[in-house]
Amino acid sequence: MILVVAEQREGKLNRASWEAIAAAQHAGGPVKIAVLGSAVDAVASELAAAEAAEVIVVDAPALEQYTSDGHVMTLAALIAEEQPSQVFLPHTYQTRDFAPALAARLQRALITDVTALKAPRGAMVFVRPVFQGKMSAEVTAEGPSPHFVTCQIGAFRADAAKRGSAPASVRKAAIDVDASKIRQKPEAPFKEAKQAVDLSQAERIVAVGRGIKAQEHLEVAEQLAQALGAEIAASRPICDAGWLPMDRQIGSSGQTVAPKLYLALGISGAIQHLVGMKGARTIVAINKDPEAPIFEIADYGIEGDLFEVVPALIAELKK
């Protein structure tokens, strides 16, 4: 049995949990889903839609706010009870905060940031990025089970998670969470505009290159970004020219990104740019030059004048 640890904050399910469920289902065998918190019934019933043996809820006041200690002690107890062969988690900031401690406490292997599973029914091989995504490693987990696996966000498709014909049963696990053993005392989360734009978190990016020709043409790219719900970014020459701030620059001297969609407008695809974005899941290139290297790594390419294609694209999206 594979146990998936779903993630919620303030009663709202983190979508990445579905990706971990999909990965676990893909790995084979029955799946159980655990969710921790306080008053998380709605999340539990949402998760019950999955094809799963059951959804296990650990509901305790001490789990109302996430803490590493709270999660580690709760999941250690739950795993002792359930004896899963593997534990799958989404590779979120929260998972990164507690999973290594949990694995260390149980002295079990933890494979992080997994992008693919190979031979999922034999000895499982995990594919994970190394050297900042420039290379991939294939690893196996050593030692006794359960093994912990965190799934890279976006690597497995949430919509591929199988839904059950009837809702899975929801069970409350009776686990004592001793609040006095939680050493971290969290305060309420708050939202804040980060000083720098963190494009690495963007799901969709529209990036412009030299083909945009003039600063006033940026507007058309921005309209497209808006229609797509995307962040705007650029290759080096655009930022060098001061048309967009430096923190919008993608590439070897800017940010490295891996969004779901990367739409490159008038970007030729110099290697300095490619190293910063070739991890994107779907790459679209629009360029006049059919020889532009960007087409070599694109999933979809349109050879054409971006000033004609982009307005058509905006119109199509608005239909």
Partner 1 sequence: MKIAVCIKQVVTREWQLRVNDSKTWIRDQDASFELNEPDAYALEEALRLKEKHSGEVVVCSAGPARASSVLREALARGADRAIHVEADALASADAFAVADALAAALRDEKFDLVLTGLQSDDQGFGQVGVVLAEKLGMPHATIIMEVKAEEGGLRVKRELEGGWFQWMTLPLPALLTIQSGINQLRYATLKGIMAAKKKEIRKVTPSAAASPAQKMLAIHFPEKGKKTQMLPGSPAEAAKALVQKLREDARVIQ
Partner 2 sequence: MNGPPADRETLEVDVLIVGGGPAGMSAALRLAQLQKEKGGEQLSIAVLEKSREPGAHMLSGAVLDPSALKDLIPDFKEKGAPLASEVHHDHIYFLTKNSKFPFPITPPPLRNHGNYIISVNRFVKWMAGLVEAEGIDLFSGFPASELLYDGARVVGVRTRDQGIDKHGAKKSTFEPGVDIRANVTILCDGVRGNLTKALVRRLALDEGRLPQIYALGIKELWEVPKDRIAAGTVIHTMGYPLRMEEFGGCFLYAMPDGLVSVGLVSGLDYRDPMFDPHIAFQHAKQHPLMESMLRGGQMVRYGAKALPEGGWHTIPRVYADGVLIAGDAGGFLNSMRLKGLHLAMRTGMLAAETAFDATRANDTSSAQLRKYEDRINNSDVRRELYSVRNVHQSFSYGLLPGLMYSGLSLVTGGWWVRDPMPVKAGYEHMAKLADYYGDNRPDVDVAVRPAKIDRKLTFDKLTNVHFSGTRHAEDQPSHLIVHDTDICRTRCREEYGNPCTRFCPANVYEMVDAGDGTKKLQINASNCVHCKTCDIMDPYQVIDWVPPEGGGGPQYEGM
Contact residues toward partner 2 (CB under 8 A) are: 213-214, 237, 240-241, 246, 252-253, 270-272, 275, 293
**173 versus 275: smaller Cβ distance to partner 2:** 275
* 218-228 vs 306-318: helix crossing angle, rounded to 10: 30
Nearest approach in angstroms of CB 276 to partner 2 is: 12
Distance CA 244, CA 37 (A): 42
Residue choice 137, 179, 241, 271 for contact with partner 1 (CB under 8 A): 137
**169 versus 253: smaller Cβ distance to partner 2:** 253
For residue 159, the Cα-to-chain-centroid distance in whole angstroms is 14
Beta bridge partners of residue 286, listed in sequence order: 265, 302
Cis peptide before 144 (omega within 30 of 0): no
Judged by beta carbon distances under 5 to 8 A according to partner kind, the member of partner 2, partner 1, none in contact with residue 214 is: partner 2
Distance CA 138, CA 124 (A): 10
Residue partners of 112: CB distance under 8 A and separation at least 6: 91, 96, 99, 100, 128, 150
**157 versus 171: smaller Cβ distance to partner 1:** 157
Nearest approach in angstroms of CB 16 to partner 1 is: 9
What residues between 63 and 122 interact with partner 1 by CB under 8 A?
67-69, 92-94, 96-101, 103-105, 108-113
Residue choice 78, 79, 261, 265 for contact with partner 1 (CB under 8 A): 261
Provide the edge-to-edge strand list for the sheet that holds 110-114.
110-114, 147-151, 86-90, 2-5, 31-37, 54-59, 169-172
Which two tokens mark 163?
Answer: 């839904």
Judged by beta carbon distances under 5 to 8 A according to partner kind, the member of partner 2, partner 1, none in contact with residue 96 is: partner 1
What number of chain residues touch partner 1 (CB under 8 A)? 85
Judged by beta carbon distances under 5 to 8 A according to partner kind, the member of partner 2, partner 1, none in contact with residue 112 is: partner 1
**3 versus 202: smaller Cβ distance to partner 1:** 202
Distance CA 222, CA 43 (A): 36
Neighbours of 138 (CB within 10 A): 10
Residue type, 32: K
Q: If binding is defined by CB under 8 A, does position 217 make contact with partner 1?
A: no
Nearest approach in angstroms of CB 133 to partner 2 is: 16
Nearest approach in angstroms of CB 246 to partner 2 is: 7
**172 versus 213: smaller Cβ distance to partner 2:** 213
∠ CA 109-110-112, nearest 5°, is: 155
**125 versus 173: smaller Cβ distance to partner 1:** 125
